[in-house]
Amino acid sequence: MNPDALFWKVVNGQLPLSKAAMTLGWRFDRYDEAQGVVHVEYQAGSGLTNPLGNIQGGILSAMLDDCMGPAIYLDLPPGKVALTIESKTSFIHPAAPGVIRGEGWIEQRKGGICFTAGRLLNDSGHILATASATFRIGSLRWHGLTIPGPVADGIMKWKLRRIADS
């Protein structure tokens, strides 16, 4: 865990949540360092439902991405990014609007590739969906140039604030 990671600045309210996280109703719950599991919660509103009244499957996939990604981001130094390059979701039970709990963890990391897994649960503890994803970890780049860590940190903070203000 890297206490200087941008992730912790978002969790502590020093930087705003992304618009996607706000739309999903994302809230950080805790990080179990011993197990290496990030626990988040979503307040899934009725605006995220399909015609049957359940949370739409693509939204559940986005929620899973947004609990597996933090498992990587909580340790990334400034100037590094993790980009989802592949994801697979399995839908197990319909998800009703309300609180959905998410768990994400790293299965394995090899160089610049990170393999993650996650699951979503309802308040009763029933598994709603599971996922695995592959992320590529790289340096923040601009016009093909690698941006130094302190500059990248400043750019990410500026970008997050700018997005939140729009």
- pLDDT value of residue 80: 82
CA neighbor of 42 nearest in space, from 95, 106, 116, 115: 95
Q: How far apart are CA 26 and CA 20, in angstroms?
A: 9
- Whether 1 is covered by a domain: the verdict is no
- Check if the beta carbon of residue 95 is closer than 8 Å to that of residue 54: yes
Sign of CA dihedral 64, 86, 142, 105: positive
Domain total of the chain = 1
CATH code, domain with 138: 3.10.129.10
**Predicted model pTM:** 0.84
- Whether 115 is covered by a domain: the verdict is yes
Q: Please give the torsion angle defined by the CA atoms of residues 54, 55, 56 and 60, in that order, rounded to the nearest 10 degrees.
A: -140
Q: Is the pLDDT of residue 142 over 70?
A: no
- Whether 104 is covered by a domain: the verdict is yes
Q: How far apart are CA 35 and CA 157, in angstroms?
A: 29
Please give the average per-residue pLDDT across 77-96, as a whole number.
92
Sign of CA dihedral 101, 43, 8, 137: positive
Q: 116 is in which domain, residue-wise? A: 6-165
- Whether 54 is covered by a domain: the verdict is yes
| pLDDT tens track for 101-136 | 999 999 999 989 999 999 999 999 999 999 999 999
